[in-house]
Structure 1
Amino acid sequence: MTPPPPLLACLLTLVLAAAVAPPAGAVCVPRKPGGHSKPGAPAKSAPSKPKPKPTQAPAPPKPTPIAPGADIVRSLCLKTDYPDLCMSAIAKQPQPQLPGGKRLDGAGVLRLAMGAVRTKAAEAKAAAGALANDPKTQQLARGPLHDCVESFDDIAYSLDQADKALAGGDRDTTSTMLDTVRTDVDTCDQGFEEREELTPLMAKQDAELAKLSSNCLAIATAAGLR
């Protein structure tokens, strides 16, 4: 076979090169590993993050109920301003004789605290009366002392009314009469305060009565009786 002329050979070389070369603009993009999927398989969506639950404010603690029994005296006295005096004064009172199976409740503790006020008021009345009748007592002090005797009588009356109201479940009257007891104590003090030249002869008794009557108010409040 006779070889083709040089010009023809050149043209054949160009034709063959054009047939083998890739089309213009074609770009080979490498696939990412694992990027292929089976034909017809649905595309997987990214898992959604769970929504955070709304933060709720902590519920306020419920008040601890006071259970009847021997510890109720301590539980209620601890709610007063003078817990030691409260417990010691109640311990000196005659304890109630309760029917079988029945235990001391809030009303029972209040009655014992009221009894402590009654006892101290009777002692203060006797002391005031003795001073009023003592020849050594200043004449100017006799009037305030007689006022104190009347105030201590009023305390006993107010305690009687509070006890009746307590028995009838009348919280308003119970509260009013216990407030009156506290006021009667201050009435005795005022008689001496109005006369600066006088020594407050009943100051010690009045101070203790003020604390005991204050304890009654606190116990009634804590036990839901006023």
Structure 2
Amino acid sequence: MNPISSIVFVLLLTVFPTQIFCQNLIDQACGYTSYKALCLSTLQSDSEAKKAKDLLTIAKVALKYTGKKAQDINKEIKKLQGSANDEGLKQALTDCAENYGDAIDQIQSSTTALASKKYNDVKTWVSAAMNDADSCEQGFEDQSVKSPIASSSTTFTQLSSNVLAITNHL
């Protein structure tokens, strides 16, 4: 290798190792999940995840996006409540608002547990939030109405599943 090539190679190693390491960490974390594409798109778009030095940081970022999704769904439910005319739909949306309110609280509890490295508590709270999302969707079925938030609920459940998978490796 000529001297200029050697210098360029060493410079590349000193400038880019963090980016290479972090990308590998994101790939590693997402490799544990069932919804890898969602995991990658979520984490690769986040500056904190890109700078992460450990899986704990990756899990925190994944949990942050899960909580944001629950909040977005809750806002969507409240908008839909204002315009619903069908009584069955109104009832299902009312139940969903309560379920997602609980899910938001559980994700916040998960965030606190993760910061304290109480990983079993994280799993318990995230699983409870997933159950709330399932209960919400079941409410639409029970009222024999189509869920207007089915796609969002599915994404929330997948994000939650990804958090659980990553947390299992901490």
Q: Residue 95 of structure 1 is aligned with which of 27, 37, 48? A: 48
TM-score (norm 1): 0.61
- Correspondence for 1:81: 34
Q: Residue 150 of structure 2 is aligned with which of 203, 208, 225? A: 203
Q: Which runs of 5+ in 1 are unaligned?
A: 1-67
CA contact (8 A) 2:44 2:50 kept: no
Larger Rg: 1
> What is the identity, as a one-letter code, of the residue corresponding to 1:160?
Q
Residues 85/124 of structure 1: CA separation in 2 closer, same or farther (3 Å cut):
same
CA contact (8 A) 1:93 1:115 kept: no
TM-score (norm 2): 0.79
Does residue 95 of structure 2 align to residue 147 of structure 1? yes
- Correspondence for 1:127: 76
> What is the identity, as a one-letter code, of the residue corresponding to 1:77?
C
Once the two structures are aligned, what percentage of the paired residues are identical? 23
RMSD of the TM alignment (CA)? 2.0
Instruction: Give 1:72 shift.
Output: 0.9
Q: What pairs up with 1:16-55 in 2 under 5 angstroms?
A: none
User: How many corresponding residue pairs?
Assistant: 150
The superposition leaves residues 79-128 of structure 1 with CA deviations (integer Å, 9 ceiling, x where unpaired) of 11110101112234452797xxxx42111111111111112112111111
Q: C-alpha distance in 2, partners of 1:219/1:140? A: 38
What SS is found at the alignment partner of 1:104? coil
What SS is found at the alignment partner of 1:117? helix
What SS is found at the alignment partner of 2:146? coil
Q: C-alpha distance in 2, partners of 1:138/1:91? A: 41
- Correspondence for 1:40: none
- Correspondence for 2:54: 105
- Correspondence for 1:7: none
Structure number having the greater helix percentage: 2
Q: Residue 175 of structure 1 is aligned with which of 123, 127, 131? A: 123
> What is the identity, as a one-letter code, of the residue corresponding to 1:121?
A
Displacement over 4 Å in runs of 4+? none
Q: Residue 163 of structure 1 is aligned with which of 91, 103, 111? A: 111
CA contact (8 A) 1:131 1:137 kept: no
> What is the identity, as a one-letter code, of the residue corresponding to 1:151?
N
> What is the identity, as a one-letter code, of the residue corresponding to 1:142?
K
Q: C-alpha distance in 1, partners of 2:86/2:125? A: 33
Q: C-alpha distance in 1, partners of 2:45/2:95? A: 28
Q: C-alpha distance in 2, partners of 1:111/1:202? A: 25
Q: C-alpha distance in 1, partners of 2:50/2:22? A: 14
